[in-house]
Structure 1
Amino acid sequence: MSVQASIDISFVREQDPSLVLAKLLGCGWSEKFNEEVMFLPVNGFDDYDWTVLRGADFDVAGFLEDVRVGGRAGIVLVFNDVAGGEFLISKKSVSMSLSINRVVLVDRVPDFSWYISRMLPAFRDLEISSIQCEMVC
């Protein structure tokens, strides 16, 4: 039986999603996993049409500009090549689906604190209104 797990972080004020993503990338999160980058292009966001590129072919600066203009981001991030998942970043929130090498406490229960403690340094100058963790079996 599979487990779905996610973390949703909401901000008090609207944020520029490209800056939120840049902060995550500057705090140990990486867009590359197994030498590939998986992301939602701006024109494929509504259809949830994920694209995969070789890491060497991905233009981070160009993607950040597309996110700034489009107002949202969808990208897979991993922390220090250990664990990660799909991030959906909007002006008001960050949602993460824990799907890559999930860190668990016991059995199948995710260690949400492991992920949150690695995301919060990126948000230290942003006001957070809520953090919600969910696990569905």
Structure 2
Amino acid sequence: MSVDAGLTLNLAAQKGLRSIVDALLASRWRACDDGWWCVPAGEDVSEWRLVQGAERTELDALVQAKMRAGEVFGIRLFWDGADVGGEFLVFPSCEVVFSPTMDRVKLGPRTTDVSWYLSRILPIFAGRDDVDLDSWIWRETA
């Protein structure tokens, strides 16, 4: 039986999606591979595709297009130097949903090490002028 785990953040961002994506990419979370970004294939966030953009230009254009259309933006990121990762979905409302889908850090066979994820995600939004963390909740079902 699989475990469904995730973190939901409610943020206030001056520049909306742009501020949130910039904060994530300025942290130690990294793209799938140098020069490649893994993003949803379209409105269906269950299918993902690779986008090349070594200097983030194509990714920035995609973020802008999603902002203008009021659509969800998603990006798959890995923790720097590890195979641990997941999907970040950023909604127009500035809600961010993180799902730890790659090499989930565990305390036991069916228990996620929540503190590992919280210590690497919550500080991203602390002390920034353009993004405020209003609330967060971790959910997990086995």
Q: TM-score range by the shorter chain?
A: 0.7 to 0.9
* 1:50-89 mapped onto 2 (5 Å cutoff): 50-53=47-50, 55=52, 59-71=58-70, 72-82=72-82, 83-89=84-90
Unaligned runs of 5+ in 1: none
What corresponds to 1:48 in structure 2? 45
* 1:1-137 mapped onto 2 (5 Å cutoff): 1-12=1-12, 16-33=16-33, 37-41=37-41, 44-45=42-43, 47-48=44-45, 50-53=47-50, 55=52, 59-71=58-70, 72-82=72-82, 83-90=84-91, 91-124=93-126, 125=128, 126-137=131-142
Displacement of 1:12 in angstroms is: 5.0
1:14–1:92 Cα contact (<8 Å) kept = no
Displacement of 1:62 in angstroms is: 2.0
1:20–1:122 Cα contact (<8 Å) kept = no
Unaligned runs of 5+ in 2: none
- Please report the RMSD computed on the Cα atoms of aligned residues, expressed in angstroms: 2.7
TM norm structure 2? 0.77
**Which aligned segments of 4 or more residues in structure 1 are displaced greater than 6 angstroms?**
none
Displacement of 1:107 in angstroms is: 2.5
Say how many residue pairs are matched. 134
Same amino acid, percent of matched pairs:
26
TM norm structure 1? 0.79
